[in-house]
């Protein structure tokens, strides 16, 4: 056996044959097209039937108000008219001025329906930086959440991803 290995080595050297190992291809192509950031869904529990009665302020129940039909078109037009504000919407990078896009979008939507506002995160009580809310009940509890900025602090782009109605979600008129 040793003679065979030695013979193969001598033959390879004498004939200028190069022996190489297998080529290793280490390409990782991640084509994740998930439109939701995981933080958008943490502690936001949409109900299966948003048209069913939910507890009302002061007792009783009420049917949640559905999202306005023209809101998506208004938001899309606003995003198209404000690409620089959207591109600079990461508060971690641009600070307080990064709120320009979300504040402007909420103001635009409120011009036709005062129920639009900000989504309050259940995890820490802060205003979400990329999700807006539509108050679906008579008080500040119970709202629709709409994720409007995808890849918020990466390469932000506008979206209209309705996360659903959560009867326990908090809404704020201003931040």
**What pLDDT is recorded for position 41?**
56
Question: Which of 51-84 are b and which e, b meaning 16 or more Cβ less than 10 Å from the residue's Cβ?
Answer: eeebeeeeeeeeebbebeeebeebbeebbeebee
**What pLDDT is recorded for position 27?**
52
**What pLDDT is recorded for position 20?**
54
**What pLDDT is recorded for position 34?**
45
**What pLDDT is recorded for position 35?**
47
**What pLDDT is recorded for position 98?**
96
**What pLDDT is recorded for position 15?**
52
Residue of 132, 169, 166, 160 lying closest to 35 (CA atoms): 160
Contact (CB, 8 A) for 87 and 76: no
Residue 139 has pLDDT above 80, yes or no: yes
Give the other-Cβ count within 10 Å of 160's Cβ: 15
Better pLDDT: 25 or 51: 51
Mean of all residue pLDDT scores within the chain: 82
Mean pLDDT lowest for which of 86-95, 136-145, 154-163?
Answer: 136-145
**What pLDDT is recorded for position 33?**
44
Better pLDDT: 67 or 45: 67
- pLDDT confidence bin for 75, thresholds 50/70/90: very high
């Amino acid at each position: 056996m040793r003679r065979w290995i030695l013979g193969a080595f001598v033959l390879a050297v004498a004939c200028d044959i190069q022996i190489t190992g297998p080529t290793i291809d280490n390409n990782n192509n991640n084509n994740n097209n998930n439109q939701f950031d995981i933080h958008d869904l943490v502690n936001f529990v949409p109900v299966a039937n948003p048209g069913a009665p939910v507890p009302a302020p002061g007792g009783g129940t009420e049917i949640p108000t559905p999202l306005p039909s023209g809101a998506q078109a208004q938001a899309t037009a606003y995003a198209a008219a404000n690409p620089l504000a959207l591109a600079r919407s990461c508060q971690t990078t641009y600070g307080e001025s990064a709120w320009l896009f979300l504040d402007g979008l909420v103001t635009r939507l409120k011009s036709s329906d005062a129920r639009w506002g900000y989504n309050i995160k259940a995890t820490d009580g802060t205003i979400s930086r990329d999700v807006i809310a539509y108050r679906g009940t008579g008080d500040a509890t119970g709202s629709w959440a709409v994720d409007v900025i995808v890849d918020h602090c990466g390469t932000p782009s506008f979206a209209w991803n309705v996360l659903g109605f959560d009867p326990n979600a908090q809404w704020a008129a201003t931040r």
